[in-house]
Amino acid sequence: MSQQGERNSGRHGQGDDWWGQLYDDSTDDTGPTPAPDTLDDRFASASGTVSAGPERADEQAPVAEQVPERAPVPGQVTGRAPVPEQRMVPPPPPPPPPAPARPVDPPPPARPVDPPPPARPVGAPRAPWEPPAHAPGRPQSFPPGPPPPGHRPPPPPPAAAPDLRAPDADAPAPDAGPGEDAVVAEEPEARPEPPVVPYVGDGPPTYDAEPTALPAADPDTLDDLVADTVLDGARYGTSTLRAVSVRGDSARYRGEPRRDCLLTARFGTGPGALILVAMATGARAAPGAHRAAAEACDWIGRAVGRSHARLAEDIRAAHRGDLKSGLHRLTDRSLGRLRASAAEQGLEPEEYTASLRCLLLPADPGCRTRVFFGVGGGGLFRLRDGEWQDIEPQVSEASGAPVVGYGSPKPETSDGDRLTMDLGITTPPSPYEPAPEQPRDPFRFRASVARPGDTLLLCTAGLAEPLRGEPELSGHLTRRWEGSGPPGLAAFLADTQVRVKGYADDRTAAAVWEA
């Protein structure tokens, strides 16, 4: 059969005969199975192959591709409806395998791994801010509509990498549940520290609490200036020292210099060292009172420094007689220098003088002897077992032997104590030379053995008078210092300058805490 619908004979006729044989129902299938293989069967097989899903694409044999339907030839009777021509095409290539999951780097050491969010129950409505759930191993849902060509679902997110860091020792442990064994270390109950109060007594003092006016300065004598506050501290052996000197409220208001002077010095090294604390107060209303106090501390410091080795030996050996007579000489000689300086300036001795109080502390931890000596007003107190003790030597107890070289007894006393002779002070060359005038106030001396837990307080009259006159002040210091150990320098300054109405003089104090 030609394309024009004419029937040809010969070679052309034989060529068209295969078409009739192909669609002849009487012709048996050439396959090995006896089951008939009709055109409908083949069409159904091809249609099933083309309409199969992606999951069966790799299992099907080569599929048939539809080609345009051939138009029928006029006048030809075929006996059945024309069917589309089929052509065998190779199957589509399989999809590429999914890319392997990129390894997840461990989190940086500085940031902890956040715990995964709690799983939402199946069927529960999703919050607006919650991202769509995607469980590992399940296909991720897409919005309605066919996916774009060549789209492949992304691989499921990898699980969070385990935290392989070592546990942090400083990180808090998770709270133990009711049924878990949890050991909680109980911290010792901290002793509450009493607050610092600005003043005690019936009412606030008259003057301001802080400095108001500075003292007048001379450009040619700037070394004569005195600071408003001096603070010092140290620790040697079994004792801790705190020392302070503060200008009084009255002097701060009037712009007057501080009349009190404080000296803290260490002489020597090692266990044989000796610590000296000296404080002096110049005469009231005297122009050069602060200079007289500074000169008194300077002279006593020089004398003790030159003889510190012998003094430290006498303290360790408990030679009370040696110490008392030797220190008496040093004190009288130092105050004698002040009287000589007053004469040079054309002043009366009462106008250029000072009270002097000193404390000697050996650095040897095996020696707990504390030695006090001095002349003039002030106070010596001891806080023991929660109570303040006024251990200032009385006048009757203070009167001792005269200074060596001025009618003193023999070096060897009836008590067997050896007097300390070599203290760097020379005796007058002639016994007929008049002796210097004795100090107005008697010499005060006390040597005592400290106990663990004691607090020894040496102070000038500016602090001693309110301690004796206002019980509330001593009670406040007891609460601050009893059983709490030595305070810091700033705390000690705040404790010693708690104000009391009616007491506005300078305050100088040295406290020693015994371990």
Q: Measured at the alpha carbon of residue 41, what is the angle toward residues 39 and 45, in degrees to the nearest 5?
A: 115
Dig out the tokens for 201 from the structure: 């007594």
Which residues are within 8 A (CB) of 402 and not within 5 positions of it... i.e. 6 or more apart? 408
Calpha distance 44→514 (Å, rounded): 111
Query: What is the C-alpha R_g of the chain?
Result: 55
CA atoms within 13 A on the CB side of 344: 6
The whole-number mean pLDDT for each consecutive block of 10 residues of the chain, a chain of 515 residues, reads: 49 53 54 59 68 48 46 48 52 62 56 54 52 46 49 55 42 42 46 75 82 91 92 94 96 94 96 96 91 96 95 94 94 92 91 95 95 96 95 70 34 39 46 52 93 96 95 94 91 94 95 95
pLDDT of residue 418: 39
pLDDT of residue 201: 80
pLDDT of residue 179: 44
Dig out the tokens for 452 from the structure: 């663990």
Q: Measured at the alpha carbon of residue 326, what is the angle toward residues 322 and 328, in degrees to the nearest 5?
A: 125
Number of helical (H) and strand (E) elements in the chain, helices listed first: 10, 15
Closest listed residue to residue 239, CA positions, set 262, 260, 266: 266
- Give SS3 for 232: strand
Handedness of CA 428, 431, 437, 440 (dihedral sign): positive
From the number of C-beta atoms within 10 Å of its C-beta (0-12, 13-18, 19+), residue 432 rates as exposed
Q: Measured at the alpha carbon of residue 25, what is the angle toward residues 21 and 27, in degrees to the nearest 5?
A: 55
pLDDT of residue 10: 47
Which residues are within 8 A (CB) of 509 and not within 5 positions of it... i.e. 6 or more apart? 243, 244, 245, 457, 458, 459, 460, 463, 496
Closest listed residue to residue 318, CA positions, set 377, 248, 369: 369
Catalogue the long-range contacts made by 344-352 (C-beta closer than 8 Å, 24 or more residues apart).
Answer: 345/288, 347/288, 349/437, 350/283, 351/283, 351/286, 351/288, 352/283, 352/286, 352/288, 352/292
pLDDT of residue 332: 92
- Give SS3 for 462: helix
Tell me which DSSP letter residue 171 carries: S
